[in-house]
Amino acid sequence: MPETTFDVGMTCEGCANAVKRIFKKMEGVSSCETDLETKKVVVTADDSVTPEAMLEKLQKWSSASGKSVALA
Is pLDDT of 1 > 90? Answer: no
Q: How many residues does the chain have?
A: 72
Dihedral sign from CA coordinates of 70, 64, 19, 23? negative
- Structural domain tally of the chain? 1
Domain residues for 14? Answer: 3-71
User: Which residues lie closer than 8 Å to 72 by C-beta, 6 or more apart?
Assistant: 5, 6, 7, 40
Distance of alpha carbon 39 from alpha carbon 44, whole angstroms: 17
pLDDT value for 47: 92
State the helix-helix crossing angle for 51-65 and 13-24, rounded to 10 degrees: 140
* pTM exceeding 0.85: yes
Q: What is the CATH number of the domain that holds 10?
A: 3.30.70.100
List pLDDT tens digits, range 5-55. Answer: 999 999 999 999 999 999 999 999 999 999 999 999 999 999 999 999 999
- Nearest CA to 37 out of 14, 9, 63, 64 is that of 9
pLDDT value for 66: 94
